[in-house]
């Protein structure tokens, strides 16, 4: 972990744990330089990371302040959780993955374009049902380029793909473009998600990127509408 990342993580933990209250000002850059024994550039990168996570806001001429999130959970809103993946987000609960498909195929034209590869390249084609404490809550349709993410195995799919990417392949997951919509489940989805009667799903379509700008994942996740809440923070 780089120094600025370690500082950002420490500040984030302080915010999550209530050391800093909503609206409270962080120490000035000069003071944090002395506290951590690093340059202003390092502190600036750490604070910028918190801004990207939606935890603080910079006010020109005043300083950096913890955002007022009212009754929203800071942990749920942080970018860190969004890119840790499902298993890491709910690491304190019983997470299970049921693998419905794990194939190697050529991508369709539109998927190849999203992943910036050709139709002659190969991708993983994965379908998983993710459960929390024994209750299925989301079915994930994931496609990843093999040339960029080599070595995926069923044992990885049963745990965390994102953890494998960052800890084993040593890549840094940076960002994602998402579209969220309401859809009705298919018969197979109703069966896998234990849905009875009429219940819309929250569909999240995503293209995720590494920190060098390369797209590594196209996915569609369909969540039970009664078990999930999506929150966001907009930063100007």
- Over 70: is that where the pLDDT of 79 sits? no
The pLDDT confidence band at residue 81, using thresholds 50, 70 and 90, is very low
Residues of the chain with CATH 3.40.1410.10: 84-224
pLDDT tens digits, residue range 170-207?
Answer: 998 888 888 999 999 999 999 999 999 899 999 999 99
Collapse the DSSP code of 91 into the 3-class scheme (helix H, G, I; strand E, B; otherwise coil) and give the result.
Answer: coil
pLDDT tens digits, residue range 116-164?
Answer: 999 999 999 999 999 988 899 999 999 999 999 999 999 999 989 999 9
pLDDT tens digits, residue range 29-65?
Answer: 999 999 999 999 999 999 988 887 778 888 877 889 8
Nearest 5°: the CA angle 148, 151, 153 is 130
- Over 90: is that where the pLDDT of 235 sits? no
Could you give the CA distance from residue 205 to residue 211 in angstroms, rounded to a whole number? 20
Domain 84-224 has CATH 3.40.1410.10: yes
- CB-CB contact of 142 with 158 (8 Å): no
Q: What is the pLDDT of residue 76?
A: 43
CATH match for 3-77 among 3.30.365.10, 3.40.50.300, 1.10.10.10, 3.40.50.800: 1.10.10.10
Could you give the CA distance from residue 206 to residue 220 in angstroms, rounded to a whole number? 6
């Amino acid at each position: 972990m780089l120094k600025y990342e370690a500082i950002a993580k420490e500040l984030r933990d302080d915010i999550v744990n209530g050391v800093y209250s909503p609206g409270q000002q962080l120490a000035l850059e000069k003071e944090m330089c002395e506290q951590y024994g690093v340059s202003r550039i390092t502190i600036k990168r750490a604070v910028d990371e918190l801004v990207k996570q939606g935890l603080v806001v910079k006010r020109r001429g005043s300083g950096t302040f913890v955002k007022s999130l009212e009754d929203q959970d800071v942990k749920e809103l942080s970018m860190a959780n969004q890119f840790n993946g499902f298993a890491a987000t709910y690491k304190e609960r019983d997470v299970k993955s049921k693998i419905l498909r794990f194939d190697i195929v050529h991508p369709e034209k539109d998927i190849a374009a999203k992943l910036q590869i050709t139709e002659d390249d190969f991708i993983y084609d994965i379908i998983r049902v993710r459960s929390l404490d024994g209750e299925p809550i989301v079915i994930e349709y994931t496609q990843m380029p093999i040339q960029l993410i080599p070595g995926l195995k069923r044992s990885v799919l049963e745990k965390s793909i994102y953890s494998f990417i960052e800890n084993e392949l040593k890549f840094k997951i940076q960002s994602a473009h998402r579209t969220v919509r309401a859809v009705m489940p298919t018969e197979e989805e109703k069966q896998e998600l234990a849905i009875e009667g009429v219940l819309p799903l929250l569909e999240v379509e995503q293209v995720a990127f590494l920190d060098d700008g390369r797209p590594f994942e196209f996915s569609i996740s369909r969540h039970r509408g009664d078990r999930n809440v999506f929150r966001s923070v907009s930063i100007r």
